[in-house]
Chains A and B, each alone.
Chain A
Amino acid sequence: MAEPVLSVRDLHMTYRVRRSIGAVEEVRGVDGVSFDVPTGTTVGIVGESGSGKSTIGRCVLGLTRPTGGEIQLLGTRIDSLSARQLRPHRRHMQMVFQMPRRSFDPLLTVRRSVEQPLRRLRSELDADARATRVAEVLEAVKLGDDLWDRRPGELSGGQLQRAAIARALAPEPALVFLDEPTSALDMSVRGEILGLLMDLKDRVDAAFAFVSHDLEAVRAVADELVVLYLGQVVEQGPAGRVFADPRHPYTQALLAAGRFETDGVTLGPRGDQEPASGCRLAPRCPFAEPRCRELQELRPLQDELGLARCWKATETVDA
Chain B
Amino acid sequence: MTETLLSMVDVEVSIPTANGDVVPLQGVDLDVRAGETVGLVGESGSGKSMTLRAALRLLPERAAVSRGDVRWRGRSVLRMEAADLRRYRGAEVAMIFQDPVAALNPMLTVERQIVDTYLANREGDATAAREAAHAALLGLDIPDPAGVLGRYPHQLSGGMAQRVNIAMALVCEPDLLLADEPTTGLDVTTQLQVLDLLERRVRDEHAALLFISHDLRVVARLCERIGVMYAGRVVEFGTREQITQDPRHPYTRALLSCADLAPGRRPGFIRGQVPSLTIRHELCPFRARCDHVHDACERLPPPRRETTDGHLAACHLEVVPHG
Contact = CB atoms under 8 A, between A and B. Distances in A.
Given A187-B255, A270-B157, A195 B189 contact: no
Contacts of A188: 43, 254-255, 258, 269-270
B259 A49 contact: no
A49 B266 contact: no
Contacts of A125: none
B159 A190 contact: no
B188 interface: yes
Given A195-B269, A269-B159, A257 B189 contact: yes
Given A48-B189, A156-B273, A270-B190, A191 B159 contact: no
Interface residues of B, number: 34
Contact of A219 (B159, B192, B261, B266): B261
A234 B79 CA distance: 58
Nearest to B46: A186
A269 B193 contact: yes
Most buried by A among B143, B218, B254, B270: B270
Contacts of B92: none
Interface string B164-195: 00000000000000000000000111111100
Given A195-B269, A253-B189, A49 B158 contact: yes
Contacts of B214: 186-187
A260 B192 contact: yes
A194 interface: yes
Given A48-B187, A48-B189, A195 B261 contact: no
A215 interface: yes
A243 B258 contact: no
Nearest to B273: A156
Contacts of B258: 187-188, 190-191
B87 interface: no
A195 B266 contact: yes
A298 interface: no
A307 to B, nearest CB: 21
A216 B43 CA distance: 18
Nearest to B155: A272
B175 to A, nearest CB: 28
A217 interface: yes
Given A220-B263, A243-B263, A269-B193, A191 B188 contact: no
Given A156-B273, A260-B217, A187 B267 contact: no
A235 to B, nearest CB: 15
B274 interface: yes
B105 interface: no
A266 B191 CA distance: 11
B263 A186 contact: no
Interface in A153-195: 156, 158, 186-192, 194-195
A315 to B, nearest CB: 25
Contacts of B254: 188
Contacts of A254: 188-189
Contacts of B106: none
B268 A267 contact: no
Contacts of B305: none
Contacts of A130: none
B255 A194 contact: no
Nearest to B260: A216
Contact of B43 (A49, A186, A217): A186
B268 to A, nearest CB: 5
A224 to B, nearest CB: 15
Contacts of A191: 258, 261, 266-269
A309 interface: no
B221 interface: yes
Contacts of B188: 48, 213, 215, 254, 257-258
A247 B159 CA distance: 26
A127 interface: no
A198 interface: yes
Given A195-B266, A257-B188, A187 B259 contact: yes
A191 B43 CA distance: 14
A240 B264 CA distance: 10
13 contacts: A158-B269, A186-B43, A191-B269, A215-B188, A219-B263, A220-B261, A243-B263, A253-B189, A254-B189, A257-B192, A260-B192, A266-B192, A269-B141
Question: Which 7 A/B pairs are nearest by Cβ-Cβ distance?
Answer: A191-B267, A191-B269, A48-B187, A192-B269, A188-B270, A186-B43, A216-B261
Interface of B: 43-44, 141, 143, 157-160, 187-193, 214-218, 221, 254-255, 258-259, 261, 263, 266-270, 273-274
Given A189-B269, A191-B258, A269-B159, 20 more contacts: A48-B189, A48-B190, A186-B43, A186-B274, A187-B43, A187-B214, A187-B255, A190-B269, A191-B266, A192-B267, A194-B261, A213-B188, A219-B263, A240-B263, A260-B192, A267-B189, A269-B141, A269-B160, A269-B190, A272-B157
